[in-house]
């Protein structure tokens, strides 16, 4: 569920940011619009893909399970560093 949220959230935000950047690059390089579009969209795609891994490392660096153990109805507190 986290990966879906992260992918949709980052993808949506980068999609909103794509058009102003492309318009800026197209107006600055009017004869190379195809190459500029490819480079910009590749950069956006790589950043959207890698940001999910970076966010996961920041939130859960030890890759612990996302459940809290219970012992006879009493919550066991997990020791953190």
Q: What digits encode the pLDDT tens for the residues 39-80? A: 888 888 787 788 778 888 888 888 777 776 666 666 666 666
Query: Residues 52, 10: contact at Cβ < 8 Å?
Result: yes
Q: What is the pLDDT of residue 73?
A: 67
Q: What is the pLDDT of residue 79?
A: 64
What pLDDT sits at residue 80? 62
Does residue 12 register a pLDDT over 70? yes
Give the pLDDT of residue 27: 92
DSSP percent split of the chain into helix, strand, coil, nearest 5 = 65, 5, 30
- Residue 81 has a pLDDT of 56
Asked whether 40 and 25 are in contact (CB, 8 A), the reply is yes
Domain spans, the chain:
2-75
**What are the backbone angles phi and psi of residue 71, rounded to the nearest 5°?**
-125, 110
């Amino acid at each position: 569920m986290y990966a879906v949220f992260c992918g949709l959230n980052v993808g949506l935000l980068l999609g909103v940011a794509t058009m102003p950047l492309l318009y800026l690059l197209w107006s600055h390089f009017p004869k190379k619009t195809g190459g500029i579009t490819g480079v910009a969209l590749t950069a956006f795609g790589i950043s959207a893909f890698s940001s999910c891994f970076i966010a996961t490392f920041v939130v859960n660096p030890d890759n612990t399970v996302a459940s809290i153990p219970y012992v006879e109805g009493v919550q066991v507190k997990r020791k953190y560093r």
